[in-house]
Amino acid sequence: MELANHIVTKDDIIYLDETTFNGYMRQERAWQYHDIPVILPLPVKRLKGVTLYGAIGQCVQAGFAFMTAEKTVIQSFLDFIEVLKSQLLTNERPILVLDQHRAHTSPKVRPLLEASFRVLWVPVSSCEFNSIEWLWAHIKRRFRKTLTQKVRAIKEQTDLIAEVDTAAEQVPQRVATQMLGANRKYIVGHLANSIDPDYATVTF
């Protein structure tokens, strides 16, 4: 309800989260002639996963800020917060929507977050309230296709990190904006159907 109120009043909102990529991600569907075997290449060697931090919002440069890291830990999260702050287009404290991952809620992290943002915590396993989840699906779909084609070239951890960086860099601003708008409509529409019919009159 609080998030929907911020959307309706057109406050600056940033949606933040992280996701993981690995060398075994593959395209889920593809066309092939029925009499030709499907050949699925495998990685040359097992690699560690790569964390991609990201944040989308209209008050963020290009609509999308991101950073890769070896894993989700407090220090890498704090590093990303500095990246995000450097790309803000507002001097006000925007709303920051994120979940309650332990790297987000650490006593070391919370005061730093609250100094620069008005933090809105969403419940665990409620990805439908965080617009960046839609963008993760878009990036991973493209990443799987690329990795299926280039898997033999992914030999070192640095190769995998570079592919994740490229996948994030290639997100057009219009796509980030579309994901943001679509999820806002979903949230407000959900409330219009289940809580308050007045939300049905909101325009974007």
User: pLDDT 10s digit of each residue in the chain, 204 long?
Assistant: 688 788 878 899 999 999 999 877 665 655 667 777 766 666 666 788 999 999 999 999 999 999 999 988 999 999 999 999 999 999 999 999 999 988 999 999 999 999 999 999 988 777 888 989 989 999 998 888 887 777 667 788 898 899 999 999 999 999 988 888 877 777 777 665 655 555 444 444
Label each residue of 42-97 as H, E or C.
Answer: CCCCCCCCEEEEEEECCCEHHHEEEEEECCCCHHHHHHHHHHHHHCECCCCCCEEE
Q: How many CB atoms lie within 10 A of CB 133?
A: 17
Pair type for strands 13-21 and 95-98: parallel
* Domains recognised in the chain with CATH numbers: 2-28+38-198 (3.30.420.10)
Burial of residue 4 (CB within 10 Å: 0-12, 13-18, 19+) is: buried
Q: How many CB atoms lie within 10 A of CB 140?
A: 17
* Model pTM score: 0.83
SS3 of residue 13 by DSSP: strand
Give all strands of the β-sheet with 13-21 in edge-to-edge order.
Answer: 64-69, 50-56, 13-21, 95-98, 118-121
| Rg of the Cα atoms in the chain | 19
